[in-house]
Amino acid sequence: MSSLLRKLPAVEHVLQHAEIEVLLSQLPRDVVLEQVRQTIQEWRRMLLENQLPFPDYEKCTEVVSRLAEQVKEKLLPNTRPRLRRVINATGVVLHTNLGRAVLAPTAIEAVITAASGYTNLELDLATGKRGSRYAHVENLLTLITGAEAAMVVNNNAAAVLLCLSTLAKGKEVIVSRGQLVEIGGSFRIPEVMEQSGAFLVEVGATNKTYLRDYERAITPETALLLQVHTSNYRIVGFTRETPLAELVELGQRAGLPVMCDLGSGFLVDMRNLGLPYEPSVPEVVRTGADIVTFSGDKLLGGPQAGIIVGKRVYIEKMRQNPLTRALRIDKMTVAALEATLREYLPGDKNLLSIPTYRMLAMSREEHKHKARELAGLLEEAAGGRAEIEMLEGNSAVGGGAMPTADLPATLIGVKPNNMSVSELATNLRQGEPAVMGRLQDDRLLFDVRTLLKGEEILLAAALAAALTRREAGRGCTI
């Protein structure tokens, strides 16, 4: 035993190893030192418990190298950027885990400009006086949506929180039981309501809510009628929700504002893309909703933001709310949002330059054509190590939007011969760049809808690499 323990190197000795010296040039010394200490301690504990740190430990003459290697393995992830590029081959256009919308080239350029120099973020260049960061997008939003006023916060969850806190703190808000949604990541209407200090009054049933249900629930304590878009689910069958127009009429009669949380709001009619009918933001504004909130990075195709449009009196009140300062957007968001919104202006309307829109607009033929091309590349990359086939299926809008939308797609199935499908998926996920596909049955599915220009080649190269089995840990000199 003592001879085994004696083989353990001293900390100083390990620190002089070439691999560790490389780590010392990339990470704080204390961090490396601590990891070396911990690894030696762990090996000592194993030896005392009659286990060997690795099988050939007794005979190995390069214990230091093995130890250094283990330290390196532990610390290596810290030396590389964690936020990395991922090739989205899932066909889910607005994939929240993959960062939702990809920005349009004009938006990317605007972000670079804003980030790399000074801007008039809060300066009115006309008067030389202090300006508002929201001014850069307010005008555009009112032009495009037809609303009287607009403002923007960090995300739509923040927008809902701010609206409820401003308009209904300490008061009651009436919501249909069919609309008490949860949007992944703990955004739940009842909980946001609680945070805002407003009291939730549920009316109707899960499947049916009538105007008279809202009407009966109105008391002197009522501050707001709220309609929430059931973004990520549908109640089908024997159902009824009260149309917004009826709620607006009731609100006017009772002197109460009506708010609409649209979730993934969009600015143009999406039916021409073959998507199911849902009212666009301008339509909801025309119907008479007093406040409308929606996300910047869902179907709009811009940066993460929560957009609030509506009647000036309410928007003014929100600006005065101290929460607004805590939820404010940064200059890069202002830049990206302004550029994205400009793409929607009738004059220079160029929606196909917005990747989200372009992906959704991809025709059946174009999709099939691209899938064929990719299948050819993958076939070549696999070199007989996997079966490649084409199958009919669907892409998804994602981002909790239009869960029942039918986006027909030609998918490419990959079935490896030399490893399991989940092993292949893991290798692709851990590769550089990482690749995400869809695991289904015993195949990995790739969808070209969400691939960006030039990614087909990268995907093929990634597949070739992923089909090559990783070698298990290096041996040692005995």
Ligand X SMILES: *Cc1c(COP(=O)(O)O)cnc(C)c1O
Ranked by CB distance to ligand X, the top (closest) residue is 263
State the residues that interact with ligand X by CB under 6 A: 155-157, 160, 181, 183, 187, 228-229, 231, 261, 263-264, 295, 306, 400
Nearer to ligand X (CB atom), residue 145 or residue 155? 155
Nearer to ligand X (CB atom), residue 35 or residue 154? 154
First CA to last CA distance, the chain = 19
Q: How far is the CB of 95 from ligand X (least distance, A)?
A: 13
Burial class of 309 by CB neighbour count within 10 A (0 to 12, 13 to 18, 19+): buried
Lookup: tokens for 295: 């996300």
Residue with tokens 């994602």, as numbered in its chain: 398
Q: How far is the CB of 179 from ligand X (least distance, A)?
A: 9
462 close to 431: Cβ distance less than 8 angstroms: yes
Q: How far is the CB of 230 from ligand X (least distance, A)?
A: 7
75 residue type, one letter: L
d(CA 332, CA 338): 10
Hey, how many other C-beta atoms are within 10 angstroms of the C-beta on 476? 17
Burial class of 370 by CB neighbour count within 10 A (0 to 12, 13 to 18, 19+): middle
Nearer to ligand X (CB atom), residue 35 or residue 227? 227
Q: How far is the CB of 7 from ligand X (least distance, A)?
A: 55
Q: Inter-axis angle of helices 421-429 and 455-466, to 10 degrees?
A: 120
Q: How far is the CB of 269 from ligand X (least distance, A)?
A: 19
Non-local (6+) Cβ contacts of 110 within 8 A are: 335, 336, 338, 339
Q: How far is the CB of 409 from ligand X (least distance, A)?
A: 23
Non-local (6+) Cβ contacts of 169 within 8 A are: 196, 197, 198
Beta bridge partners of 386: 416
Q: How far is the CB of 241 from ligand X (least distance, A)?
A: 14
324 close to 162: Cβ distance less than 8 angstroms: yes
Q: Print the SS3 string covering 409-454.
A: EEEEEEEECCCCHHHHHHHHHCCCCEEECEEECCEEEECHHHCCCC
Nearer to ligand X (CB atom), residue 328 or residue 429? 328
Nearer to ligand X (CB atom), residue 233 or residue 373? 233
Nearer to ligand X (CB atom), residue 178 or residue 306? 306
Nearer to ligand X (CB atom), residue 122 or residue 182? 182
Q: How far is the CB of 211 from ligand X (least distance, A)?
A: 21
Q: Print the SS3 string covering 355-407.
A: HHHHHHHCCHHHHHHHHHHHHHHHHHHHCCCEEEEEEEEEEEEECCECCCCCE
Nearer to ligand X (CB atom), residue 35 or residue 145? 145
CA distances from 97 to 90, 100, 144, 189, 400 (A): 12, 7, 29, 21, 12
Nearer to ligand X (CB atom), residue 88 or residue 155? 155
Q: How far is the CB of 250 from ligand X (least distance, A)?
A: 21
Q: How far is the CB of 344 from ligand X (least distance, A)?
A: 18
Nearer to ligand X (CB atom), residue 23 or residue 262? 262
Nearer to ligand X (CB atom), residue 162 or residue 463? 162
Q: How far is the CB of 434 from ligand X (least distance, A)?
A: 23
Nearer to ligand X (CB atom), residue 222 or residue 231? 231
Lookup: tokens for 433: 């760049």
Kindly state the helix (H) or strand (E) to which residue 334 belongs, with its residue range: helix 331-342
DSSP H helices, 133-237, are 135-145, 156-168, 189-196, 211-217
Q: How far is the CB of 298 from ligand X (least distance, A)?
A: 6
Nearer to ligand X (CB atom), residue 161 or residue 354? 161
414 close to 398: Cβ distance less than 8 angstroms: no
Peptide bond into 433 cis (omega under 30): yes
Q: How far is the CB of 304 from ligand X (least distance, A)?
A: 7
